Amino acid sequence: MTGTHPLSPPQDVDRVVDGLFRRASGRLVSSLTRRLGAHHMDLAQECVQDALAQALHTWPYGGVPGEPEAWLYRVAVNRAIDALRRDNLGRAKLSDPTMIEELAHGQGHSPVVDDELAMMFMCCHPDIPPPHRVALTLKTVGGLSVDEIAAAFLIDPQTLAQRLVRAKRQIRDQQLVLDVPEPSQLPARLESLLDAIYLLFNEGYSAHSGDQLIKSDLCDEAIRLVRLLVADHRTNRPEVRALLALMLFHAAREASRTSIDGSLLLLAEQDRSLWNPELTAEAFRMFEQSMTGPKTPYHIEAAIASVHAASPSFPQTNWARIRELYDELLEFKPTPVIAMNRAIAVGHDAGPQAGLAALQVLARDPHLARYHLLPAAQAAFSVAIGAQTQAIAFYRLALELAPSAPDKRLLEAKLAAYREG
């Protein structure tokens, strides 16, 4: 494809909108992979990376093109055509010459949102294990590098690279197709996609250490992906709206989760005036619109978040309702962590003794043996009943198990404050 784009003067810096490269990279990789075929995913990624490098090497001198994304796509497509023609010359014909000609003549060009949706569905195919789904989605649609994803998940970049290789091999071997699934298959396929996005959001939201900037990128990316699903009539389903509501409720609280010195604050200590009213309002709207279908765990988790969002202060929280919701959630997902959260709700609802009793039962669960939030909760309820020695012992145990520096600082501050008080 030839033709020149008018170049804006070099001083036109505003054209480079924040995040253009990462966003464009996701869209372009999706579109190009769709044109080339899923087995050419690596080539598509290389070509898009080349196009970004080309922009980096030339835009400083000539300015940002009038349509930056179209410029990038054209460069990436040209790279792909060159590479495929080279391959076809060198060895036996690997690629369909018609496909190359179509690419060369610009047929079916210009990336569309549908390409991104299709890519998400393929990366999150139910046959691909969930952690691999997340990694692949972030690499392709999210435009994050292996190092960035590895830093966010606190895993070795090589381990992550291997996950990506395995996931891509699976796509090739099973000949997975890059398409938005047919209506009959959509609900099941959507479930595995939402699983992955939920995992992605949790990873970004959790208090483990890691690069904070990338962490909030993960949350933003998860929200952006669900918004794409809500915006498309095929995927705008009740459970999708519930997941978006759930994430928006949490995102609205983001600013209040850390104190000025960067240490973590518990829900009880957060300054609720810092909660983002627009995001909360949107979350409530979305939550209301999610009530049109069967109840899913996302609905219940969104409901729990909505109870917190609706209460003016921590003590005024409707704990009885939260306890009920956790009971319901346990039926869907009988996991130890949800059981622990339920026990904490019991403590706030029926009193610290009841909470301690419920937590005591769970402390015997081997899955929770190394989970620092369990002794942390036991410590807090022990403080409430005035059992000093017991409270200090629980705090010490929690400190020992705390996985990250922010978690440790939070517990140390609690312990110190308690001893002084």
Partner 1 sequence: MPKFMIIPREQPKGLTASPAEMEKILQKYMAWTANLAKAGKLDHGNKLKDGQGRVVGVFGGEKGPKVTVTDGPHMESKEIMGGYWVLNAADYNEAQALVMDCPHLQFGTLEIRQVDEM
- Nearest approach in angstroms of CB 5 to partner 1 is 11
Helix (H, G, I), strand (E, B) or coil at 181: coil
Closer CB to partner 1, residue 10 or residue 187? 10
- Nearest approach in angstroms of CB 205 to partner 1 is 20
Closer CB to partner 1, residue 62 or residue 129? 62
DSSP state of 18: T
Per CB under 8 A, which of residues 11..30 are in contact with partner 1? 11-13, 16, 19-22, 24-25
- Nearest approach in angstroms of CB 59 to partner 1 is 6
What is the token pair recorded at 134? 């997340």
Closer CB to partner 1, residue 150 or residue 397? 150
What is the token pair recorded at 406? 């922010």
Total residues found in the chain within this entry: 421
Closer CB to partner 1, residue 28 or residue 340? 28
7 binds partner 1 (CB under 8 A): yes
Backbone angles phi, psi at 191, to 5 degrees: -60, -45
Per CB under 8 A, which of residues 315..334 are in contact with partner 1? none
Closer CB to partner 1, residue 32 or residue 55? 55
- CA–CA gap between residue 49 and residue 54 (Å, rounded): 9
Closer CB to partner 1, residue 210 or residue 297? 210
Q: Which residues of 392-421 are buried (b: 16+ CB within 10 A; e: fewer)?
A: bebbebbbebbebebbbbbbeebbeebeee
The answer to whether 345 touches 326, Cβ cutoff 8 Å, is yes
- CA–CA gap between residue 180 and residue 193 (Å, rounded): 11
210 binds partner 1 (CB under 8 A): no
| Cα 134 → chain centroid | 8
293 binds partner 1 (CB under 8 A): no
The answer to whether 23 touches 113, Cβ cutoff 8 Å, is no
- CA–CA gap between residue 80 and residue 105 (Å, rounded): 13
Per CB under 8 A, which of residues 126..185 are in contact with partner 1? 143-145, 147-148
Tell which residue, 311, 307, 310, has the closest CA to residue 341: 307
Q: What is the CA radius of gyration of the chain?
A: 25
Per-residue mark of binding to partner 1, 50-69 (x: CB under 8 A): x-xxxxxxxxxxxxx-----
Closer CB to partner 1, residue 136 or residue 368? 136
- Nearest approach in angstroms of CB 369 to partner 1 is 38
Q: How far is CA 228 from CA 11, 28, 120, 323, 383, in A?
A: 33, 16, 10, 33, 46
9 binds partner 1 (CB under 8 A): yes
- Nearest approach in angstroms of CB 104 to partner 1 is 15
- Report angle CA 76, 77, 82 to the nearest 5 degrees: 100
89 binds partner 1 (CB under 8 A): no
- Nearest approach in angstroms of CB 50 to partner 1 is 8
407 binds partner 1 (CB under 8 A): no
Closer CB to partner 1, residue 144 or residue 240? 144
Count of residues interacting with partner 1 (CB under 8 A): 35
The answer to whether 122 touches 171, Cβ cutoff 8 Å, is yes
Q: How far is CA 207 from CA 95, 318, 347, in A?
A: 47, 25, 23
Closer CB to partner 1, residue 96 or residue 147? 147
347 binds partner 1 (CB under 8 A): no
- Nearest approach in angstroms of CB 13 to partner 1 is 4
- Nearest approach in angstroms of CB 86 to partner 1 is 13
Residues that bind partner 1 (CB under 8 A): 7, 9-13, 16, 19-22, 24-25, 49-50, 52-64, 75, 78, 143-145, 147-148
